[in-house]
Each structure stands twice: as C-alpha cells, then as structure tokens.
Amino acid sequence: MISLIGFLSLVFAIGINFYLLLSRYIFKFKKQRFNFFIRLSSLLTLLSFFSLMYAYVTSDFSNYNVFQNSHSDKPLIYKISGTWGNHEGSMLLWLCILSIFSFFFSFTKNIEDNFQKLTLIIQAFLHILFGLFIVLTSNPFLVNSILVNEGLGLNPILQDPGLAIHPPVLYAGYVGYSIVFSIAIAGLFQNADDEWLYVAKKWSLISWTFLTGGIALGSYWAYYELGWGGWWFWDPVENISLMPWIAGLALVHSLIMVRGEQAIKKWIVFLSILCFSLSVFGTFLVRSGILTSVHSFAADSSRGVFILLIFFIITGFGFLVFLLKEPKKSNSLNLLFINKVSALVINNILMIIATLTILLGTIYPIIIEVLYNKRISVGGPYFNSTVIPIMIPGFLLMSIAPILSWQTSKIKSSKKYALSFIILSIVVLLQSYFLNFNTWGFVGLLLGLWIILASIIAILTSYKIKFTIKFFQIINPHIAHIGVGIAIIGITCSSVFQNELDFNLSEGDEFNVNGKKVLFEKIETTNETNFQALRGKFLFNIESNKINEIKAGKNYYPVSKIITSEAGILHQWNRDIYFILGDQKNNEWFVRVLINPFVSFIWLGVILMVYSGLIAVTRR
C-alpha cells in the first residue's frame, strides 16, 4: 500500500515537471501558479521518499527493495538510513534533494521573475531525467513476488551512523550544483545582466559547503570503519567527489572576482556547467559499477547505459548552449605581475588542471582497457606525484592572495611577510631536522604554517579587531584559508609521520607505545542485536592515573556472513592512537598500533572551512 503511494506520487511529480516544461512553450503561467506547481512536485517527491522510508521503518517486506536490503532486527537508525543504503533508494534521495533545492529556489527574492522561471524549468528538466531513470531502471517500489517474513539484510559496513549523515550531506553538495548549472544556463539564454552572478554565488557556496562536509564525513567514516588507519585512498569514488569539489572551489573564487572584473563571466559559466557535469559523471561511474572501489556498490550495466545517456544529455546540453550563446566579451582581465586578479586566475588555472588530472587518472584505465584489452591501475602514487605538486604554488599564493590589491601590484607591508616567511622556514627546517627530515613533511609543514601565519598577519595588520558579525564576515576568507592551512598540517603529519608498531600478544601482555605502557587486558565476545562482537580490551598508559580504555576488534554479522573490522581509536588533540586487532595464531593475537599525529587537525581545518562557507552564504 505504502509502496503504491510512494510510486504514484513519484510518477505524479514527474508528470507535473513535464507539464511545467511544456508550459514554457504552450501555455504561459503566472509566477504564482508556476511556483505552486514546482512546490507541489517537490512535496510529492518528498512524499515518495518518505513512503519508502516508512516501508523501511516498518520492515514492509512486501516491498522488494526493503526485502533485499533490510532485516527486521536492525536498530531503528539503520532502518531509516537503510532507505538510501542501496542503489534505488539512494537515487530517490538524489531526486528528493534535487526537488528540495528547487523548492527553496522558488522562494528566492530579488531575482527577475522570468529568470527564476527559466532556472526552475531547467530544474524540472533535470527532475524528469532522473525521475525517469528511477521509474524505468531502479524502481524502489517494486512488489515482492513471494511472501516473506524476513529480509536479506543490509551490508554490515553500512550499518553505521556514518550512513545516516554522509550520503545526504554529500548529495546535497552534488545536487546543489544543479541549481548553479540551471542558473548559468538560464543566464546564457536570457543574456541577463549580472544580477544572476550573485544568486549563483550564494548557491555555489551552499553546495560547496555541503560537499566539503560530505567528503569529510565520508573520509572520517572510512578512517574508523575500514580499519586501515588511513582516511584518503585515492579511490575512484573519492576522486569523483574531489573533482566537483575542486572545480567548485574554483567557481567560488571566480565568483568573488566578479566584484572586480567582468571578463571572468564566461569562465564562471564554464565552471558552473563543469561542476554539475562532474557530479553527474560521478553518479554514472559509481552507479554503473564501472570501476572497482572500496565502496563496492551493486552494479548493473543497463542502468549504466541509461545514466550515461543522462550524463551525455545534461553535459552536452550545457556545453552546447555555452557554445552557441556565449556571453558577450567585456573588458579584458587586469592581470598585473602580482595582484588579486592574477592570483585568482593562477589559482583557478591550477585548480582546473588538478581537476582534469584527477578526471584523466580516473577514466584512463577505462580507455586503456577498451583500446588494448588490458587493465592498468591508476592509484594513489600517480595522484600524489601529479596533483600535489600542481597544488603547491596555489597554496603559496593562497596565503597572501586575500591581502593583494585588486588594481596595483603593490603588497601592503610586504617586508613583514617576507621576514616572517624566512623566520618560519628556518624554524620548520630546524624542527624537521631534529625529528627526521622528510622533504614532503618539510614542504607540507612549511606551507600549512605559512598559510596560517600569513592569514593571521593579514587579519592583524589590515583590519581593526572588533567582535561584530561584520568583522567576522570581512575576515572570513582568511578564516577559510587558516582552515586549509590547519588541514594541510594535519594531512602532512598524519601521512608522512605516521608511525606503525606491530605486536604479537597474548592476553595479559604489556607493551610499549611511544614510551607509554599498554596492557592487553583480555578478549571479550558479546552478542549484540544483529551481530557478534569480538573485542580486544587495551588499557593505555597504565602507569599514570589517567588510564584510557581502547577496544578494537571485529564484528560478525550472521545474516550476511560478513566480518567487519572495528578499529579502536584513542583520540588526543595531537595524535590518534589507532589499534587494529588482527588474527589469532598460536594463542597470540596480531595487534597493529598506528600513531597518526595531528589527525584531529584535518577535521578541525574542515570545520573551519565549513564554518566560513556558511558565513560567506550570509554575506551579500
């Protein structure tokens, strides 16, 4: 019953969008009428999504999708998040977020009516494409042909709070670019004045902020769930999220430039189309199962062809309009040897090179396999040795860019910066030298610290410090850059200076981790609602009076017969101590302890970036 409601409202929503699309040519609507229909279709899509969720929560196994991906003994939170823990449901979530964005966009004030209408019509077009994809190839409302009392269960790796928040936030980022895309296309069609750029800026900031949060959440999830001690693997699915992120970053920066320069408009339109195209391309790569990934998703090649078609239509449409209706050329760029505009242009170029490099690296194995019928891998080492060096000059520029002038190539108090840079280099050199010298470690630390230092100097010397909202809005770019600097330090330290210790231990053994005594107390097994847990209990720093207890082990899920590893992590502000319990051999357990210095800085940096993204949205 509930499935029927869900299906019908989904179909109705698509129907309304068809109607709206036709309305442009056949019958003209007034603004209010038009907006009513847009909102109605959004609410219907939402209703459809919530009926699926309801089916999951009530474990309605007459729905085939619920039967395939749920089990009645799961805790409630995983029943809810299980809604999008599978292909069909996650596509419905995608569509749902798309219509939520349309819904909110229909309320945007201070934008020309016709322009808003056209944007929403393009959104309706996107809604139809993805809606048809769901109905025709991945319908989550199919009826189960056999009567069953129990479902097949959800992949245990997904039975985690991470699933509850990571996909919705990430999708909000991906799909948010649909609005930016539609705005840009509408701007091309109407040859509108530059008002639309401010609207686009707001929405691209919102999407970028969501995307940042979504990627970081996914990264953190991988960090504690996969149990490899790393948080970024240059996995295809991660690359896919990174591409629109970097392109989106370039977009946000270009939109800032609009204040000073007009010529950048064409570039902005290009980036707007690119961002959403990359988001859709990512969906294609993930959903077609064309690439192997740690995020193993169920794959089906007929779906792959369909979504490839959608990707082709959207991207082709976007770039075709771009080709035919390119914005009029205005005055050329004011590029001096070093001013704000040239810094932004250089950074944009570097970011787009990084994006394209990641894109090529991700699809290169496909090309090679089609051409030569052999398979290659393009993995972390490739990206580390191409993307990172490309980004380094960008990071250097970033540290001073906000204080550069728009017009002249003079830098305020440049001596102060030069001096502090030299002092900082010497300090970092000495420091890295007394620990152990590593080129990447040195470069990363220096860059990170320099970005933070330069941003702080800029804040102190350029503005009067007041604790008002306006002040925080003004220094916001610097805050974002400080966030990047902190994240760079975290990334460098946790990857370059990671320390690894392997032990073979029996229960009751004591061992040393970084000079601290650790006791391997015992192994416990417990029965939880839907899995059996095996945990090694470790007591860290037993010689002090502040003993930390860490549990690391494995879970066994009888329904799906899968074992997941559950790392035990002791979070400290300056390092994570990461325990992995391996297999038992001759009464001894293999225990790997990773010391990841300054991992918390990565998350702190991301929090700052998200914060400044939010602040920037509030600023006009």
Q: Find out whether 578 and 593 touch, Cβ atoms under 8 Å.
A: yes
Q: Cβ contacts of residue 10 below 8 Å, gap of 6+?
A: 44, 45, 48, 92, 131, 134, 135, 141
Rg over alpha carbons for the chain, rounded to the nearest Å, is: 26
Contact between 191 and other proteins by CB under 8 A: the answer reads no
Based on CB atoms, which residue is closest to other proteins, 360 or 460?
360
Q: Which is nearer to other proteins, 281 or 538 (CB)?
A: 281
**Smallest Cα–Cα separation from 261: which of 191, 180, 197, 351?**
197
Query: Could you say which residues in the range 379-418 bind other proteins, by CB under 8 A?
Result: 379-382, 385-387, 390
Does position 526 bind other proteins by CB under 8 A?
Answer: no
The 10 Å Cβ neighbour count of residue 344 is: 23
Among 38, 175, 378, 443, binds other proteins (CB under 8 A): 378
Q: Give CA–CA dist 620/618, Å, rounded.
A: 6
Position 322 contacts other proteins (CB under 8 A) = yes
Q: Nearer Cβ to other proteins, position 8 or 534?
A: 534
The one segment of 140-148, 165-173, 338-346, 510-518 that binds other proteins by CB under 8 A: 338-346
Cβ proximity to other proteins, 500 vs 510, nearer residue: 500
Q: Which is nearer to other proteins, 360 or 547 (CB)?
A: 360
> By C-beta, is 359 or 475 nearer to other proteins?
359
In degrees, to the nearest 5, what angle opens at C-alpha 349 toward C-alphas 495 and 345?
115
Choose between 26 and 323: whose C-beta lies nearer to other proteins.
323
Residues counted in the chain: 620
Strand, helix or coil for residue 577: strand
Q: Give the closest residue to 167 by CA, choosing from 214, 220, 232.
A: 214
Residue with smaller CB distance to other proteins, 15 or 289: 289
Q: Does 427 bind other proteins (CB under 8 A)?
A: no
Q: Quick one: 332 exposed, middle or buried, by C-beta within 10 A (0-12, 13-18, 19+)?
A: exposed
Interface residues for other proteins in 221-250 (CB under 8 A)? 228-230, 233, 235-236
- State the number of binding residues for other proteins (CB under 8 A): 80
Tell the smallest beta-carbon distance from residue 388 to other proteins (Å): 11
Distance separating alpha carbons of residues 527 and 557, to the nearest angstrom: 10
376 contacts other proteins (rule: CB under 8 A): yes
Question: In the window 122-181, what residues touch other proteins (CB under 8 A)?
Answer: none
For residue 398, what are its two tokens?
């970033």
DSSP 489-514: HHHHHHHHS-EEEEEEE-TT-EEEET
Cβ closest to other proteins, residue 380 vs residue 558: 380
Query: Which residue among 22, 136, 148, 360 contacts other proteins (CB under 8 A)?
Result: 360
* Interacting residues with other proteins between 576 and 605 (CB under 8 A): 582-583
Determine the Cα–Cα distance for residues 92 and 96; give it in Å rounded to an integer. 6
CB of 376 to other proteins, least distance (A): 4
Q: Applying CB under 8 A, which of residues 185, 188, 217, 274 lies at the interface with other proteins?
A: 274
d(CA 220, CA 214): 10
Among 31, 133, 122, which residue's Cα sits nearest to residue 91? Answer: 133
Site string for other proteins, 429-448 (x = CB under 8 A): ----x--xxx----------
288 binds other proteins (CB under 8 A): yes
Looking at residues 485 to 514 of the shown chain, list those that interact with other proteins (rule: CB under 8 A).
500
Count of Cβ atoms closer than 10 Å to residue 413 Cβ: 13
